[in-house]
Amino acid sequence: MVNLKRIPDAISNFSMMIDEDYVYLDKTEFLERYENFESSVSMLLRPRRFGKTMFTEIMRYYYDVALKTTGDRLFHNTYIGSHPTPLKNSFYVLRFSFSGVEVFGTDDYIAGSFKSAVVNGIADFLGRYPEFISAVTSQFMSDYSEGDVIDIIRYYNSSDFPTPAGVISNFIQMISHVREFEHRIMVIIDEYDNFTNDLLTDDALRFSSIARKDGFIGRFYSVLRSYNESSGPVNRIFITGVLPVTMDTAVSGFVSAKLSFEPLFNETTGFTDENVETLLKQTVDFTKCRFSISELKNVMKERYDGYRFASRGNSSVYNSTLCLNFVKELRTDYEQIPQFALNSGSDIDYRKLKLYLELMNEQDRKSVIEDIILGKPIKAGIGGSVNYSLTAKIDRNQGLTILYHLGFLTLMTKEEVKTYYMEEYYRSGTYLKVPNTYFTAIFDRYLFVSRQLPWADIENADHLESIAYHNDVKSLYSLLETVSQAFVHTDNSLMAEYQLVMALYVALSMNTAGAFKLRKEYYIRHNGKITFADNRTTDASIENGNSGDSPDYKGVIGREQGTDMMRIISLKRGRADLVALNQKNGPSYIFEFKYEKDRNASESTKLKKRAELLEQAKKQLDFYVTDDELKQIRDLHRYVIMYTFGEFMISEV
């Protein structure tokens, strides 16, 4: 009998994970890196579902004086267990979680909910250090008889302490009189902005009221910082969250080290390739599963990988929660790849994308969407402050910063950017792309719905699975014809082609049970080099990605001699619109798309134009099949998909 690890479902208790045999993928080496970083106030921002809370739990068990015995047992088989650091179990850890703060009600009600979370953190602290309860209760023993944690909770929830700042100030002041606490408190704050992010999109007026510099959030962090300065009792503060907006708006300059962009912390949360392989080996019964580890990894990589939080990071990472959900669903039916559309959180992500895009001014929002539609590297100024004010919409850079932190976009490496632009251009900024098919689908859903296109038809086209086993694309006809009709009056043929490509790309991702390795904008290579349509080559090395790759024409940027002006030279590269490589020994496909807007033209003109486009597509497909990889595929079928003058056609050539 195969002994499989349990799969955690919204479990963030480190002790439970280890003791009850849940799968745990070791991240403790980042404790060593954190300690060596020597910053008194650090912040790690990561998207939702990336394991931030679990990392704060690991920190608590490793650094807390009261948890040394338990920690030694839990870390026994981890990196940090065999590489202990000087600060191991040397702090009194005060941990707060603001994930449960209420966002409905008056400002005073929200402030009260925030204060309750602060009091709960204090109660948890004293539960581990009961010997120090007297340091707090001594100030009110005349009013209470027991002098225990319950009394302290009542005390801080009373009208004597109307603000969270008052609670934390009084508590630290009281315990700092105890000698043992001298400069030895570590404060860990998890999900610092969970509730304010909801406010930002649901009620911008309320966010502006609460996150102002003199509001209860700003005052709370200001007090905390004051006890961290000049060798105060608080030695270190570590904060996790998703967005920088709340901190930048309420307490600008609070954080001394933003670990979010440091290469050493790129893989602190999320799963690496090695993590995913370990996950599959420990949780999947391959005596029953019809798919190999490599097949499952290919599907998971396509859907959930691609996040890079430092341009010089060692590798990209996967969304950890979505990977766990994938394996959990796989274990219910080892005969089927989990359906793409069933991954949890897609509705939440779609709603958040829509709401955050609407925070941007219209011109910048349109420019960002256009860059995504055209598949361009998206230039952005990531890393600066994002202050929010009702007096103005968020600008392009601030909007892109938010989308990056939410995980809708991710950093491109210099090598990826160099594929598009000459060296002197790519050095001049930071570039973003959509990380994977999961968020490609979220963006496409937004684009389709905003243009009243039939997203539901794409999402539910379960009849498409047949093309994984037989060369029969009739099932595509009605779906793509319906999508195509939405472009009858579109003048921009490149954008229309993109929408058609994405309609098929997303439909195949969602409805073919992982049968295909899909490659949008597939670069053609000869002898390992990317090859231009006119047979020029480039030494640029790039793995064919699933998003953010080049459209028909790419701008290669060069500086004119003696000036600072940029000039754009358009060069057509050899690339196929969409390649579907079969992973189940069935047929593979290359799809070339053509679009011509509806216009008043004679029938003879229409016939001539269609013939020209079809002939052009045939020549392109003949060139594409000379690719190093594609020419080795025996069962490879070439299709032209055309929508011209209001009529749709699919033709195999």
State yes or no: pLDDT of 535 exceeds 80.
no
Residue 586: pLDDT band with limits 50, 70, 90: very high
Give the three-state DSSP class for 460: coil
Distance CA 475, CA 32 (A): 55
Four-CA torsion 385, 391, 395, 401, nearest 10 degrees: 40
Of 261, 221, 219, 263, nearest to 239 by C-alpha is 221
pLDDT of res. 372: 80
The CA-based angle 154-156-161, given to 5 degrees, is 130
Q: In the prediction, which pLDDT does 217 show?
A: 94
> What are the two backbone dihedrals, phi and then psi, of residue 602, each rounded to the nearest 5 degrees?
-70, 160
Distance of CA 498 to the CA centre of its chain: 23
What is the C-alpha to C-alpha distance for residues 47 and 406, in angstroms, rounded to an integer? Answer: 5
> Domain residues of the chain, as ranges?
25-262, 273-338
- Residue-level pLDDT at 358: 87
Indicate whether 562 pLDDT > 50: no
pLDDT at position 392, please?
62
Query: What per-residue confidence (pLDDT) applies to 542?
Result: 38
Predicted pLDDT at 422: 46
Query: Could you tell me which residue, 251 or 560, shows the higher pLDDT?
Result: 251
Instruction: Measure the CA dihedral 333/334/336/342, to 10°.
Output: 50
For 536, the token pair is 């020029």
Q: Which residues contact 332 (CB under 8 A, 6 or more apart)?
A: none
Is it the case that residue 460 has pLDDT exceeding 80?
no
Please state the rounded mean pLDDT for residues 172-196: 87
Spatial distance between the Cα atoms of 232 and 252, rounded to a whole number of angstroms: 21
Average pLDDT (399-411) is 92
pLDDT of residue 384: 62
56-61: which pairs have CB atoms within 8 A and are 24 or more residues apart? 56/95, 56/188, 56/190, 56/238, 56/240, 57/12, 57/13, 57/14, 58/14, 58/27, 58/28, 58/31, 59/31, 59/34, 59/93, 59/186, 59/188, 59/238, 60/14, 60/93, 60/95, 60/188, 61/14, 61/15
Is residue 76's pLDDT more than 80? yes
**Is 439 in contact with 555 (CB distance < 8 Å)?**
no
Tokens at 256, concatenated: 């001394």
> What mean pLDDT is predicted for residues 311-315?
73
Domain boundaries 25-262, CATH class: alpha beta
- Dump pLDDT digits (tens) for 29-60: 999 999 998 889 999 999 988 999 999 999 99
Range of weakest confidence among 225-239, 269-283, 318-332, 594-608: 594-608
Q: What is the mean pLDDT of residues 188-211?
A: 88
pLDDT of residue 441: 83
Q: Which two tokens stand for residue 579?
A: 């390649």
Mean pLDDT of 603-618: 91
d(CA 357, CA 61): 39
pLDDT confidence band for 532 (50 / 70 / 90): low
Mean pLDDT across the stretch 336-345? 67
Q: What angle do CA 259, 260, 266 make, to 5 degrees?
A: 95
Express each pLDDT in 431-456 by its tens digit. 899 998 888 888 888 877 776 667 77
Per-residue model confidence as pLDDT tens digits over 623-643? 999 999 999 999 999 999 998
- Token code pair at residue 504: 């098929």
62-76, 88-102, 406-420: least confident range: 406-420
| 540: Cβ contacts below 8 Å, ≥ 6 apart | 415, 418, 419, 530
Q: What share of the chain is helix, strand, coil (3-state, %, to 5)?
A: 45, 15, 35
Half-sphere exposure of 359 (CA within 13 A, CB side): 31
Most confident of 24-33, 223-232, 471-480: 24-33
Q: Is the pLDDT of residue 544 over 60?
A: no
Mean pLDDT of the chain: 83
At 209, the pLDDT band (50, 70, 90 cuts) reads confident
Find where tokens 């231009």 sit: 532
Whether the per-residue pLDDT at 195 is higher than 60: the answer is yes
Which pLDDT belongs to residue 539?
46
DSSP state string for 350-363: HHHHHHHHTTB-HH
Identify the sign of the CA torsion 572, 578, 583, 584.
Answer: negative
185: CB partners within 8 A, 6+ apart: 91, 92, 93, 94, 172, 175, 227, 233, 234, 235
Calculate the dihedral angle through the C-alpha atoms of 467, 471, 475, 481, rounding to the nearest 10 degrees.
120
Please say if the pLDDT value at position 5 is more than 70: yes
Distance CA 573, CA 552 (A): 7
**60-88 average pLDDT score:** 96
316: region left, alpha or beta (phi > 0 left; psi from -120 to 50 alpha)? beta
Average pLDDT of the segment spanning 202-214: 84
pLDDT at 424: 45
The predicted structure's pLDDT at residue 645: 87
533 against 521, higher pLDDT: 521
Percentage with pLDDT > 90 across the chain: 44
Q: What is the end-to-end Cα distance of the chain in Å, rounded?
A: 51
d(CA 57, CA 64): 10
What is the rounded average pLDDT of the residues 153-173?
Answer: 92
pLDDT digits (tens, 9 = 90+) for 352-397: 888 889 888 888 888 888 788 766 788 887 766 666 665 567 888 8
Confidence class for position 554, pLDDT limits 50, 70, 90: very low
Name the least confident of 213-222, 430-439, 482-491: 482-491
**Which stretch of 5-14, 50-59, 84-93, 131-140 has the lowest confidence by average pLDDT?**
131-140
- In 3D space, the residue among 382, 505, 399, 375 whose CA is nearest the CA of residue 445 turns out to be 505
What was the pLDDT predicted at 421? 57
β-strand partners of 638: 590
